[in-house]
Structure 1
Amino acid sequence: MSAPEFAAAQWTRAVGAGVDPHEYLRVTEALPSVADWGPAFLRTGRAYLERAEHAGSSASAGAHLLMAARWFHLATLAPYAEAGRAAAEADSALGRALTVLEPGARRVSGEGFTGWLRGPADAPGTVVVVPGLDSAKEEFLDLASALLARGLAVFAMDGPGQGVLAATTHLGPDYEQVVGRVVDALGVTRVAVVGLSLGGYFAARTAALEPRVAAAATVSGPFRLDWDELPEPVKDIMARRTGGADAAREFARHVDLSDLAPRIADPLLVVDGAQDRIPGVTNGEPLARAAPRGTYLSVPHGDHLLGNARPDWLSRLSDHIAHELTVTRA
């Protein structure tokens, strides 16, 4: 794939993650090849670190650091020898930003997870935000902001094989065990779980198997995967994140919610983009039908992760989670 083709494919994802669309075009239009993606995005992120160093206020410094975290994370989307360093820089920039902007934010880590707990100590509910195959906690800052604006606490995490943990751990299907350890570490009795892309499968699986989940939502999450039909780039990413081609094939075999969906007893919102068509991926409509309290939202013009359609789903999802954690709180 050429650099222009790759940049076009990542366009709405990058804009959905919160980078300036004009700057994205300036950076990607200058790329000779996909191999130059990572270095160019790292340079852009480091320019934001430099701005933060010379900022005239803590608000400006924090905003620059958040933007640096976004660019560093996006650097990992193309095959790149220093992707681990980019993920570490994204993690560092996010931590520095929250230290400046939200002194009450707390880093929480444990076996197979790490992330930031944000929001008021007396929040009426806590939301765990779960990333996907090649996403990370730095990608969904706008979602976290929408949930925080509704008075909730938010734990945006990296799990095994994700974000800053991708260099040292491997993705596995039993993500509900990871979320269970997160809930233990947070010291709460009930949570909502929001999962994006492959994280949608993890969120739905967790909602079925972890009794402390009171509500869930998925965004572009798969109901089922067919390994033989998946595009080669997806297989390659999955192999890197799970520990090899055989592990990836076995992982894909587990991604099937047919038996688990009927066990999701709590409210579930399933969000899909109707333009999200990946060979080998069955999208979320069967999940919404099979879950006893499932609701399906399909956005006609939405693509994968619906970065091109945020007004059509972001507020509704945030209101759904807030309602279930506050109005209907036990």
Structure 2
Amino acid sequence: MGADRRHPGRPPGAPHPRQGRPADWRNTMSTTMSTTDFAAAQWTRATGAGVDPHEYRRVTDGLASVADWGPSFLRTGHDYLRRAEDAGSPLSAGEYLLTAARWFHLATLTPYADTAHGSAEADQALSRALTLLEPGARRLSGDGFTGWLRGPADPAGTVVVVPGLDSAKEEFLDLVDALLARGLAVFAMDGPGQGVLAATTTFVPDYERVVGRVIDALGVARIGLVGLSLGGYFAARAAALEPRVAAAATVSGPFLLDWDELSPQLREIMARRAGGPDAAREFAGQVDLAALAPRITAPLLVVDGEQDVNGGVTKGEALARLAPRGSYLPVPHGDHLLGNARPDWLPHLCDHFAHTLTGTPA
């Protein structure tokens, strides 16, 4: 069977946005949104994170209300923990644990979610998975960061993956795998206000200091840095102010935020992560790369989905134009985080780092 012709790239029967809505409105979540609409809004984000699309549909079809999202996704994650316990091999157990980590993270995405619980469960499942699957993987934690370093012991290059507003290190396992496949080491992290650290910390404007401490902990002279969604701002800022960033990329990252134009739902999420509405407004006012972009001397790839539409968010074209070595990759049918367009940007982004950090041909 092919894709739905009215919605290219969407499998038949998959949730889809209703007519008349913005092309990307996944982050404009509402406490009054129907379960069908909410599941449709999270569709490409969830499948882009690696959950099975058929299982996603089965789980979301069974929701009576959006309030049931978190508990249902947590139950699905626990089902995978039980499968891991009953698995016939460490490999199977590890694979089940990785899937559990994805579901636990996705459980945190609703306004009703017990974010601390879901993030802790995701973190624990990922830790157990990597202990089984990659005995050489190392947990690194420090002031304002925690995460996992994976890959060869003596890599040609190391890439740090920075999550965004309500994402976490468990959301981008496919990106990590693609970078690992190119012989790079990868540190996927949670920073202040992100992932498992969201329960005890809040966003900081000077994220470059966190990146600097990460580089110190890694013990390397230079890194690649990729940020996703709001993490794109963090990565671009760090690339401008931390000289050890040798290559950078942003995916759906903001160039500028206008607090007054942001949706109430985005402001609510930011307030939870920043420490309250006043702190969130102040933080949003600092998200402006106009002065910093010309200071990014490292090769910079900026990826945007042209169907990513959120009021108050200026996308990355200006960043690519102002950065001395910036390049811009717009994907016409891509939405926020481009979970519906993986082949159109993911290989290119990973090759960008492989070429820049190792000198291999592009």
Query: TM (normalized to structure 1)?
Result: 0.99
Partner residue of 1:254 out of 286, 292, 295: 286
Cross-structure match for 2:119: 87
Partner residue of 2:315 out of 283, 288, 304: 283
Alignment of 1:130 with 2:162, yes or no, is: yes
1:82, CA displacement in angstroms?
A: 2.2
Once residues 353 and 181 of structure 2 are traced to their aligned partners in structure 1, the CA distance between those partners, rounded to angstroms, is 12
1:81, CA displacement in angstroms?
A: 5.0
Cross-structure match for 2:220: 188
Do the aligned partners of residues 65 and 83 (structure 1) sit closer, same or farther apart at CA in structure 2, a change above 3 Å counting? Answer: same
1:291, CA displacement in angstroms?
A: 0.3
Listed as ranges, the matches of 1:153-232 within 5 Å are 153-232=185-264
Listed as ranges, the matches of 1:51-62 within 5 Å are 51-62=83-94
Secondary structure of 1:76 counterpart: coil
Once residues 161 and 115 of structure 2 are traced to their aligned partners in structure 1, the CA distance between those partners, rounded to angstroms, is 22
Once residues 288 and 360 of structure 2 are traced to their aligned partners in structure 1, the CA distance between those partners, rounded to angstroms, is 30
1:173, CA displacement in angstroms?
A: 1.5
Query: TM (normalized to structure 2)?
Result: 0.90
1:42, CA displacement in angstroms?
A: 0.1
Once residues 24 and 231 of structure 1 are traced to their aligned partners in structure 2, the CA distance between those partners, rounded to angstroms, is 26
Secondary structure of 2:108 counterpart: helix
Cross-structure match for 2:267: 235
Cross-structure match for 2:359: 327
Alignment of 1:294 with 2:326, yes or no, is: yes
Partners of 2:107 and 2:113 within 8 A in 1: no
Alignment size in residue pairs: 329
Once residues 289 and 162 of structure 1 are traced to their aligned partners in structure 2, the CA distance between those partners, rounded to angstroms, is 29
List runs of 5+ in structure 1 lacking aligned partners: none
Cross-structure match for 1:77: 109
Cross-structure match for 2:23: none
Give the AA of the match of 2:83.
R
Cross-structure match for 2:19: none
The structure carrying a bigger helix percent of its residues is 1
Aligned identity (percent) is 77
Once residues 263 and 42 of structure 1 are traced to their aligned partners in structure 2, the CA distance between those partners, rounded to angstroms, is 43
List runs of 5+ in structure 2 lacking aligned partners: 1-32
CA displacement, residues 133-156 of structure 1 (integer Å, 9 cap, x when unaligned): 000000000000000000000000
Once residues 146 and 117 of structure 1 are traced to their aligned partners in structure 2, the CA distance between those partners, rounded to angstroms, is 15
1:328, CA displacement in angstroms?
A: 7.3
1:58, CA displacement in angstroms?
A: 1.2
1:80, CA displacement in angstroms?
A: 2.9
Alignment of 1:315 with 2:351, yes or no, is: no
